[in-house]
Amino acid sequence: MTRHVTRAVLKGSAFAALLASATLLSPVNLATPVQAAQDAIYGYQTLSFSEANVKAFRAMVAAEQNEVTVELNKKYADKPEKVTKNAAFIGYARIISGTDELLSRINKEGASENLEHSFVRLQRLHYTILADRGNGSIEPKLKRNFKMLKNIVGKSMILNVPKMRDPEAPIGERAVELEAARLFRPGEKAPVKATELARMSALEISRLQPAADHPALSGKEPGNHYADFLAELTRLIKACEPKKLSSFNFDYARRVVFYDELKEDATSPKIRVKDRYGINWGLKWGDEVHTDVALTRLAIDLGGTYVDPKFYSGPGETILILDSPKKSKEGAVTSFAQLATNLLNSKFQFHAERYLLPGRELVKDAGGQILGHGIVDEAMLERESIDKKYLGAPYVLFKECQLSFFNPAVKRFGGIALSNVGAVGDRVARSSIVFNCWIKNKDMKDDNSRAALLYNLKTGEFDRPVEFQSDLGCTLGAMRPSGEINSFESSFVVNMINNIGFSMKPLYVPASWKACSWSDARWMALRIAKITRADLERCFADSGWPIFVQRLAIEKLISRRNELIEPFRLDLDGVKPIECDPKLTLTVKVDGKEYQPVRNGAISAACPLVQKLEAGIHAEGLATVISRKND
């Protein structure tokens, strides 16, 4: 079965042409990629499978590998160990070894579907390395803007999958081409053949599984997995750098962080910080601090292989230590006033002072500028195990923020291909339309997903490929603000004449979504249906939202889950609706007083408790959320 893999075939002077394309991809000839582009590498040419193409691909990658090695040797002339630890260096080495193995197997076994698939995976890794390096063509701005406008206006006319009139009838030979490639019966090593698919019903095809080694799917049934995921990551982190990280602990790591730099390569107000182990984290504020935390946990519970670990930090839970006044480096930030000014003058135009923890006296300089909540003294050095170089540095406490961990146990690359390089034929990529519409993720471009090589305890190498959605913050909200549960509808399935539509205004629509069949969508709907109320409650418990906001979000998610049962005939697999109340009214008692923060399925802006929380901890809002674009 080769129907979804190839697009370009090299002929004649193919080798020279391919090397020419490598030159076109060099950083010398290209501008910096635009964040708003759907494709991380616009117009990437997926090569068809042949021995000649594999050899030519290897030659191109080897040339790029040489360029990267030269760049890294110049950058780290006095630190050669950093060269061999660099993600691109390791990624290119992985591709070279993979192509060498592929060529060896071609000589021994001849061409086969498995080898063809291996070649696609190597090209996917190449794509994401180019994206990480910022190499590649950029889709014309006018074309990008037109697509985005069409997507937003089109809504469910754009986001839909075909209806299946008789899901228990054989699909026939003509319909086989519309199904995902490489589907397996549980426990079998060879994919189901096209002739077999033709005799199967859409219902039977929906029960087939992607390959057991799929980089985005762990193979685990949906359920309670996130705690085990973090425990496994902790083991990997300790093992990959035993001298430095043998005592690593996530709770200890995020208790105290040190300012490093302001990052303007993201869409949310964010700074880079380091923990006491010397590991990088991203610290951000705004409307995505709750959603990203809850939904990364949900992605793992749904069976994902990996996510970037993200944590909500409540009032004063994380201490941000700024630069010491003695520090002379360019860009040093030695006061909160300076940090706030930098954020306000950045592209974010962010008002950081709204997130300062109240109720504690602030330390100011002689001119009245805020230094922070205190100054690091000898006692704090001892109490918090802080390096002496920070003696005299100001520290800051926030109402709330989010911390995103830069895991040393992975070599992380750029955006992954969602519209080409095998994605259009991949069940996981195709069916992700259902998951993302369920959580109302409007921002599904390549750059919001990532590929990585995970550390392998057995080999001691970074050789376990994973693919994952790296940004799930732009969810559960309106067109602009994220996490605005009042704008998150309890219904999203639209009954159309020939299609099952999903109501959402997407900024981007990957080509893999457009290829999603009824069987693909049903496969994902079955996984979503296995997520229980208890699973959702556990995911949202870490979000930092008040209980009443968590409860309303969960009721709406369950309502949307229940909507999938009828159009995808989940009842035929024993799925039943979960009782829920998306129009609930909730009464809570705080300090002896009763409040109704949720009325008729909406967070009440008039409720004194909601107003108090918005004025206090939740500066981004609860009933009406301030978008990071409008801060």
Q: What is the pLDDT of residue 27?
A: 33
Domain membership flag for residue 583? yes
**pLDDT of 34 over the 70 cut:** no
**pLDDT of 45 over the 80 cut:** yes
Minimum mean pLDDT among 183-192, 325-334, 371-380, 458-467: which range?
325-334
Q: What is the pLDDT of residue 326?
A: 83
β-bridge pairing 319-321 and 256-263? parallel
Could you tell me where the beta strands, DSSP code E, fall in 54-162? 160-162
Domain membership flag for residue 485? yes
Could you tell me where the beta strands, DSSP code E, fall in 391-544? 394-397, 401-405, 410-412, 449-456, 461-469, 493-495, 499-502
Tokens of 212: 């057991």
- Write out pLDDT tens, residues 59-89: 999 999 999 999 999 999 999 999 999 999 9
The contacts found for 612-616 with CB under 8 angstroms, 24 or more apart, are: 613/546, 616/358, 616/399
Tokens of 497: 């004449």
- Write out pLDDT tens, residues 144-200: 777 777 777 776 677 999 999 999 999 999 999 999 999 999 989 999 999 999 999
**pLDDT of 22 over the 60 cut:** no
Looking at every residue in the chain, the average pLDDT score rounds to: 91
- Write out pLDDT tens, residues 580-610: 999 999 999 999 999 999 999 999 999 999 9
> What order of strands is seen across the sheet that includes strand 310-313?
310-313, 401-405, 280-284, 270-275, 256-263, 319-321, 394-397, 374-375
Minimum mean pLDDT among 264-273, 493-502, 615-624: which range?
264-273
**pLDDT of 10 over the 50 cut:** no
* pTM (two decimals): 0.91
* Domain C-terminal end among 113, 138, 163: 138
Contacts of 536 (CB under 8 A, 6+ apart): 298, 554, 557, 558
Judge contact between 352 and 285, C-beta under 8 A.
yes
Could you tell me where the beta strands, DSSP code E, fall in 544-614? 586-590, 593-599, 602-603
Domain membership flag for residue 8? no
- Write out pLDDT tens, residues 529-573: 999 999 999 999 999 999 999 999 999 999 999 999 999 999 999
Minimum mean pLDDT among 3-7, 477-481, 497-501: which range?
3-7
Q: What is the pLDDT of residue 141?
A: 80
Do 496 and 423 share a structural domain?
yes
* Domain C-terminal end among 405, 434, 452: 405
Neighbours of 112 (CB within 10 A): 12
Residue type, 313: S
Q: What is the pLDDT of residue 290?
A: 97
Q: What mean pLDDT comes out for the span 34-49?
A: 84
Choose between 404 and 158: higher pLDDT.
404
* Domain C-terminal end among 138, 167, 201: 138
Question: What percentage of the chain reaches a pLDDT higher than 70?
Answer: 93
- Write out pLDDT tens, residues 241-277: 999 999 999 999 999 999 999 987 766 789 999 999 9
- Write out pLDDT tens, residues 335-362: 999 999 999 999 888 999 999 999 888 9
Domain membership flag for residue 493? yes
CA–CA gap between residue 627 and residue 164 (Å, rounded): 39
Domain membership flag for residue 542? yes
Hey, CA dihedral for 338, 343, 345, 350, is it positive or negative?
A: negative
Domain membership flag for residue 79? yes
Do 461 and 440 share a structural domain?
yes
Q: What is the pLDDT of residue 330?
A: 77
Q: What is the pLDDT of residue 148?
A: 75
Q: What is the pLDDT of residue 36?
A: 64
Q: Work out the burial of residue 538: count CB atoms within 10 Å of its CB; fewer than 13 is exposed, 13-18 middle, 19 or more buried.
A: middle
Do 597 and 540 share a structural domain?
yes
Choose between 28 and 433: higher pLDDT.
433
Binning pLDDT at 50, 70 and 90, where does residue 487 land? Answer: very high
Choose between 361 and 490: higher pLDDT.
490
Q: What is the pLDDT of residue 4?
A: 33
CA–CA gap between residue 522 and residue 207 (Å, rounded): 8
Do 85 and 214 share a structural domain?
no
Residue count of the chain, please give it: 631
Q: What is the pLDDT of residue 37?
A: 80
Question: What percentage of the chain reaches a pLDDT higher than 90?
Answer: 83
Do 603 and 483 share a structural domain?
yes
Judge contact between 595 and 586, C-beta under 8 A.
no
Q: What is the pLDDT of residue 462?
A: 97
**pLDDT of 7 over the 70 cut:** no
Domain membership flag for residue 552? yes
Do 592 and 453 share a structural domain?
yes
Tokens of 327: 């520090």
- Span between the terminal Cα atoms of the chain, in Å: 51
Whose CA is closest to 2, among 124, 173, 174, 117? 117
**pLDDT of 315 over the 90 cut:** yes
Do 501 and 482 share a structural domain?
yes
Do 162 and 275 share a structural domain?
no
Binning pLDDT at 50, 70 and 90, where does residue 138 land? Answer: confident
Tokens of 340: 């706030």
Minimum mean pLDDT among 98-102, 145-149, 397-401: which range?
145-149
Q: What mean pLDDT comes out for the span 90-104?
A: 97
Q: What is the pLDDT of residue 135?
A: 77
Tokens of 547: 């209980």
Q: What is the pLDDT of residue 630?
A: 66
Do 121 and 34 share a structural domain?
yes
Do 457 and 362 share a structural domain?
no
Q: Which residue range forms the structural domain that includes residue 91?
A: 14-138
Do 516 and 420 share a structural domain?
yes
Q: What mean pLDDT comes out for the span 470-490?
A: 94
Do 465 and 324 share a structural domain?
no
Domain membership flag for residue 7? no
Number of domain units in the chain: 3
Q: What is the pLDDT of residue 21?
A: 37
